[in-house]
């Protein structure tokens, strides 16, 4: 499979502490097969200096293909992803959180099954190896595994990490899907909807994960877990 450009979708909300470090990591990645990077940043109405930091970085790095979009009201991560997905022009796209929990240098690990023509969609699993760094939120881990198990029951997939941020999609394929969730329900929604596509090839690879604390800005909470259960039921039971 030949890919010219990978679109990197980065939803942001109050990420001034980490966004520059993240963008430098994305910049430093050299993609296999000379694949080019299209960086799409969607600012979901941050109330800190996220926008200022991004605009300054863009000015200082004119060689990078960075496209910046901003919501005038806070709509949620899912809404920011919809904006970014709609704007993507690369043949494939990957989702990248603006914090430093996921490592951009692992893009090539996720791209390889697509290049080898084994997959149309690739999920990066945090639970397939022991490369995760830092302490583990016990309830988060159990919650993620439960949600993945519940999702698998309905989709008949055998994923180990449905809730992972790192997912690569064929851009035209995901642009053809009507996405509805505005917040963290994006993960179970997209998993349910792609599982229904005829002939879809979904692959999973091991990735590392550097957990951050709530003090460091982690946003997902127990309410999002209940929303995920609702989304699993909703989008798998609706044809």
Predicted confidence (pLDDT) per residue in 132-159, tens digit: 554 455 667 888 999 999 999 999 999 9
For the stretch 85-97, pLDDT in tens is 999 999 999 999 9
Q: What is the DSSP letter of 210?
A: B
pLDDT at 238: 75
Cβ contact 159:143 at 8 Å:
no
More confident residue, 219 or 44: 44
Give the model's confidence band at 162: pLDDT under 50 very low, under 70 low, under 90 confident, else very high.
very high
Give the full edge-to-edge strand order of the sheet including 121-125: 66-70, 36-43, 5-12, 92-95, 167-170, 121-125, 202-206
pLDDT at 1: 77
C-beta separation of 9 from 104 below 8 A = no
3-state SS assignment for residue 5? strand
Cα–Cα distance, 4 to 18 (Å, whole number): 28
Q: Is the pLDDT of residue 73 over 60?
A: yes
Distance in angstroms (rounded) separating the CA atoms of residues 239 and 235 = 8
| pLDDT tops 80 at residue 129 | no
Question: What pTM was estimated for this model as a whole?
Answer: 0.91
The confidence score (pLDDT) of residue 214 equals 45
Question: What element of type H or E holds 71?
Answer: none
Query: Is the four-CA dihedral 69, 74, 75, 76 of positive or negative sign?
Result: positive
Per-residue pLDDT at 138: 61
Phi and psi angles of residue 67, each rounded to the nearest 5 degrees, phi first = -120, 125
d(CA 87, CA 68): 10
pLDDT beyond 90 at 131? no
Cα separation, 203 vs 221, in Å, equals 28
> Considering the chain, what is the average pLDDT of its residues?
91
Instruction: Say yes or no to pLDDT of 212 above 90.
Output: no
pLDDT confidence of residue 136? 53
Per-residue pLDDT band at 25 (split at 50, 70, 90): very high
Q: What secondary structure letter does DSSP report for 82?
A: H
pLDDT reported for residue 216 = 47
Are 50 and 111 a contacting pair, CB within 8 Å? no
């Amino acid at each position: 499979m030949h890919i010219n450009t990978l679109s990197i979708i980065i939803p942001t909300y109050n990420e001034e502490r980490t966004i520059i470090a993240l963008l430098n990591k994305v910049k430093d990645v050299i993609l296999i097969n000379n694949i080019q990077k299209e960086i799409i940043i969607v600012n979901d109405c941050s109330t800190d200096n996220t926008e200022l930091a991004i605009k300054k970085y863009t000015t200082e790095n004119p060689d990078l293909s960075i496209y910046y979009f901003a919501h005038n009201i806070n709509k949620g991560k899912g809404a920011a992803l919809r904006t970014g997905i709609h704007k993507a022009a690369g043949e494939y796209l990957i989702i990248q959180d603006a914090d430093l929990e996921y490592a951009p240098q692992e893009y090539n690990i996720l791209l390889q099954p697509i290049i080898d023509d084994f997959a149309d969609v690739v999920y990066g699993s945090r639970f397939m190896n022991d490369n995760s760094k830092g302490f583990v939120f016990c309830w988060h881990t159990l919650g993620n595994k439960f949600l993945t198990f519940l999702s698998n029951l309905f989709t008949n997939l055998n994923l180990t990490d449905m809730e992972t941020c790192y997912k690569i999609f064929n851009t035209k394929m995901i642009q053809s899907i009507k996405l509805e969730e505005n917040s963290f329900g994006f993960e179970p929604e997209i998993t349910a909807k792609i599982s229904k596509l005829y002939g879809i090839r979904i692959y999973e690879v091991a990735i590392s994960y550097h957990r951050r604390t709530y003090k460091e800005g982690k946003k997902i909470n127990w309410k999002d877990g209940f929303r995920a259960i609702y989304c699993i039921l909703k989008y798998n039971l609706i044809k």
